[in-house]
Homo-oligomer: A and B are copies of this chain.
Amino acid sequence: MNELLNKFKALQDLHLNIDMTRGKPCKEQLDLSMPMMDVLNSKAELKDSEGFDCRNYGKLDGLKECKKLLADMIEVDDENIIIFGNSSLHVMYECLADSFLYGVLGNTPWSKLDHIKWLCPVPGYDRHFAMCEALGIEMINIPMDSKGPDMDLIEKYIKDPSVKGIWCVPKYSNPDGTTYSEAVVKRFARLKPAAPDFRIYWDNAYSVHHLYEKDQDFLLEIINECKRVGNPDLVYKFTSTSKISFPGSGIAALAASPNNIASIKEHLKYKTIGYDKVNQLRHVRFFKDLNGVKEQMRKHADILRPKFELVNEMLEKELKGIATWTKPKGGYFVSLYVDGKAKEVIDKCKTCGVKLTEAGCAYPYHKDPSNAHIRIAPSYLSLDEIKLAMEVICLAVKIEMAK
């Protein structure tokens, strides 16, 4: 133990300042999209394929070619997609807010109900849970394994009509990197919730975010599966280009059944005249088609892959038998599990200048029942920084687990 503490002291003396809290793309990834800044210059014709001047008001649900691009990306029909602004999180929020204010497809607005519950596969995305908390929705933890959420438990809970939805990040999930198995997606599509206004919020944030082009996870497309089994209105599917082009200056979209899309548009028309079509056109002219997106994602993967491999390498070397962790084939995070010691490890890392997301962040109400989960976000950091951060983390784990 003394040796570990001395080593830790030596790391503390380096006065590190490494922020590993968020899954942000790094500078080199952002640079990949810089040519996009040239595709629309002052000489460009800013008309879409239908002859519409994208600089002016209109086209509430987005440009036809932008719908096609994002629909192809998430494997849905481009008739059943709406292009929004820069944030898929905001689109999810608006779906929730609409449900509270207007109700879902003719059902009672949730603001008129006493109590709304929501299923939350854990660990999950902190911002999903924060949104529920803000809206006063009671969250229920659903454990995840390597195939996805516990479907038995979900099928039990949805018998309660106050359970109105579930968060899912079905591919390279935040933070475990899990992709839901075909059997899990098929059970999702066949859910028969007691609440007619129950919706699966299918946040397909990492649909094309593979680390290994030739060893990708496969995710069954849920909208078509729901349709096929006579459950078409069950799901809202979200995506964005935030981690493809620029976070904050990308394009978000929602896909759903014709019924759901019509209803969402009906409310949307009161909120805005339309989203940023110049930016839609910029994305379409830059990526051209799905192949353009895939090409871009290969470049992202080339930057990210060594970072994820370094994390795994150091965990293998230092923590084998002491802790467990995930080895995702895509997405933005690695989960490290240190049973009963997560808070202690995170606090200890902080004393060494390595900032991790706070303990419990991946759980509703910030309560990790096992105090086990640490979210590792290597994307933003350089390999040198990752190496240092992982040294600190591994050492902190060894010290805390040895106590």
The interface of chain A, by Cβ under 8 A from chain B, is: 22, 24-25, 27, 30, 33-38, 40-42, 44, 53-58, 85-87, 89-90, 93, 97, 100-102, 109, 111-112, 127, 130-131, 134-135, 242, 246-249, 267, 270-279
Cα distance A336–B272 in the bound complex, in angstroms: 27
Cα distance A55–B127 in the bound complex, in angstroms: 20
Asked if A30 meets B53 with Cβ closer than 8 Å, knowing A134-B267, A276-B276, the reply is yes
Complex contact B90–A271 (CB within 8 A): yes
The 10 closest A-B pairs by CB, nearest first: A111-B111, A249-B278, A134-B270, A34-B42, A30-B55, A90-B272, A87-B272, A93-B271, A57-B247, A55-B246
Q: Tell me the nearest residue of chain B to A243, going by C-beta.
A: B57
Cα distance A291–B131 in the bound complex, in angstroms: 41
Q: How many copies does the complex hold?
A: 2
Question: Which residues of the partner chain B approach A271 to less than 8 Å between Cβ atoms?
Answer: 87, 89-90, 93, 131
Nearest CB of chain B from residue A272's CB, rounded to whole Å: 4
Nearest CB of chain B from residue A84's CB, rounded to whole Å: 10
Cα distance A85–B90 in the bound complex, in angstroms: 11
Complex contact B111–A55 (CB within 8 A): no
Complex contact A56–B24 (CB within 8 A): yes
Known: A30-B55, A38-B41, A87-B271. 16 other contacts (CB 8 A): A27-B53, A33-B55, A34-B42, A38-B42, A41-B41, A57-B248, A86-B276, A90-B272, A93-B270, A93-B272, A97-B101, A101-B101, A101-B135, A248-B274, A276-B276, A276-B279
Question: Which residues of the partner chain B approach A278 to less than 8 Å between Cβ atoms?
Answer: 246, 248-249
Q: Which one, B24, B87, B100, B275, contacts A111 given CB within 8 A?
A: B100
Q: Which one, B37, B44, B89, B277, contacts A249 given CB within 8 A?
A: B277
A sample of 12 inter-chain contacts (CB < 8 A) reads: A35-B42, A38-B41, A57-B248, A86-B275, A87-B271, A89-B271, A97-B101, A100-B101, A101-B101, A101-B135, A276-B276, A276-B279
